[in-house]
Amino acid sequence: MGKGRTNNLATVIKGTGHASSVTDQAKHFEISHDRRSILEAPAVVAVPLLFAISGIAIRYAAFASVTAEPGFESYARALCRWDCHWYVDISERGYESFPIPNQSNVGRWGFFPLYPMLVAGIRTVFPFPTILVATITSIACSYAACLIAWPLLEKNMRAYVLYCAFLLSGPFSFHFTTFLTEPLFVLLTSCVFLALKRTNYLVAGILSALLSATRLVGVLVVFATAIQMFQQHRAQDGTTLSFPLWLLGRPDLLVAILISPAGLFAYILFLYLTVGDGFAFLHVQRAFGRVAGNPLLFLWDGLSAVPTTGWLPTAPQWSALAALTGLALSVVLAVRGQYGAGLFCAVCIILPLITNLASMVRYVVGLAPLIVLTAILLSASKLTWLAALVLFLSACYFMTVAWIGGYLALV
């Protein structure tokens, strides 16, 4: 009897010791996880900062190689190409109420107002030349877009490094560091999809409204919001037929959808009151040579524009290849279950493609979900990750020279 009681006591002590061991292991894991999170935070902040600095150095070296004029302001002006000049004019002078003289009836109305307004507001606080304010603001927006991308990349450090390198030191980094809408567009798009990831629909709606005031295609992100709502409804065992009724029973969701195009509507109202044509941003596209046509024909014409000398693709071929690559990546997003992001990116490519291939490279590389997906795919192995990182940094110099030189594929 005493022996049995001793054995039982030993068993209890053994079991208690095992439970204590498990508890200790859990505490050790929790401490390790917290320590790793603490170490991650400085890295997340430092990585885009390092690429922002290296990007400025590489692009400045490219600028110095083609011009003898020194100084950061000269560098910023040299990178201000094509549409950048329109945004500088809007920020300094606002919109005309009539076509600009001696410019073939071209007006500034085709360029949406949010980013020029933001730069103009910052310039009232820091009275420096517009292009300097805009350049610093663009770098800040791209830096912020990197921070927002961290949770979108599922805290994958290799993918995060590639994403930051692409935006701030990559072959198209001049698009994200000068006075174009790409920096703000990428930042707001990333914020919208992060809000949707966290099912914060009201925040997503407000950000979507800002996005629709940044570029026309920004209004299309509302479809991604609706798809996310539908997926949430299905996850709660709802049916397709019951979705409209479920949506009507959620006023917060309805508000999120209804406010999404508010930025576009505000711009339409502004144009109606000042120009007399609320859709002047569409009608003025004819003056820029954008007329609706067959997108398949535009793609075929682009691919068929073979070089007459040399082996490098022509500008139309680069544009057509960029459109096809963007559409292929949009399909990959859908296959991976990101239906809203895939649809948003596809429509953002197809809509301008209906007019022609102009600026197609810039439109494709400025779609945040495609950049996130590309970074994830290229970071699948250490070898492809390293090769992509080296390619991004080395191509930055040569592409910046091409941008300053006015290469049409980069417009």
Q: What is the mean pLDDT of residues 257-270?
A: 97
For residue 404, the model assigns a pLDDT of 95
How many Å apart are CA 4 and CA 29, to the nearest integer? 37
Is residue 13, in this structure, part of any structural domain at all? no
For residue 1, the model assigns a pLDDT of 43
Q: What is the mean pLDDT of residues 177-198?
A: 97
Q: State yes or no: pLDDT of 12 exceeds 50.
A: no
Q: What is the mean pLDDT of residues 200-210?
A: 97
How many Å apart are CA 313 and CA 309, to the nearest integer? 10
For residue 107, the model assigns a pLDDT of 80
Is residue 351, in this structure, part of any structural domain at all? no
**Sorting pLDDT into bands at 50, 70 and 90, what band is 28?**
low
For residue 2, the model assigns a pLDDT of 46
Is residue 313, in this structure, part of any structural domain at all? no
Q: State yes or no: pLDDT of 17 exceeds 60.
A: no
For residue 292, the model assigns a pLDDT of 86
Residue 370's nearest CA partner among 326, 339, 338, 336 is 326
Residue 233's nearest CA partner among 222, 243, 248 is 243
Q: What is the mean pLDDT of residues 356-368?
A: 95
Is residue 330, in this structure, part of any structural domain at all? no
Q: State yes or no: pLDDT of 211 exceeds 70.
A: yes
Mean residue pLDDT of the chain comes to 90
Q: What is the mean pLDDT of residues 213-242?
A: 94
Q: What is the mean pLDDT of residues 54-75?
A: 94
| CB distance 225 to 208 below 8 Å | yes
| Mean pLDDT comparison of 24-28, 39-43, 175-179, 276-280, highest-scoring range | 175-179
- How many domains, the chain? 1
Q: State yes or no: pLDDT of 338 exceeds 70.
A: yes
**Sorting pLDDT into bands at 50, 70 and 90, what band is 70?**
confident
For residue 290, the model assigns a pLDDT of 81
- Least confident window among 13-17, 136-140, 196-200, 276-280: 13-17
| CB distance 152 to 372 below 8 Å | yes
| CB distance 293 to 356 below 8 Å | yes
More confident residue, 5 or 217: 217
For residue 32, the model assigns a pLDDT of 54
How many Å apart are CA 180 and CA 293, to the nearest integer? 26
Q: What is the mean pLDDT of residues 246-253?
A: 92
Is residue 254, in this structure, part of any structural domain at all? yes
Is residue 290, in this structure, part of any structural domain at all? no
| CB distance 364 to 321 below 8 Å | no
For the chain, percent of residues with pLDDT exceeding 90: 79
Residue written as tokens 């945040």?
368
* 80-91 tens-digit pLDDT: 999 999 999 999
Q: State yes or no: pLDDT of 105 exceeds 80.
A: no
Residues 6+ apart with CB under 8 A from 86: 108, 111
- Least confident window among 108-122, 217-231, 289-303: 289-303
For 265, the domain range is 39-279+382-410
Q: What is the mean pLDDT of residues 399-407?
A: 95
Is residue 2, in this structure, part of any structural domain at all? no
**Sorting pLDDT into bands at 50, 70 and 90, what band is 69?**
confident
Is residue 8, in this structure, part of any structural domain at all? no
**Sorting pLDDT into bands at 50, 70 and 90, what band is 9?**
very low
Q: What is the mean pLDDT of residues 45-72?
A: 95
The neighbour count for residue 89, using CB atoms within 10 Å, is: 17
- Least confident window among 53-62, 95-104, 337-346: 95-104
Q: State yes or no: pLDDT of 7 exceeds 80.
A: no
More confident residue, 35 or 278: 278
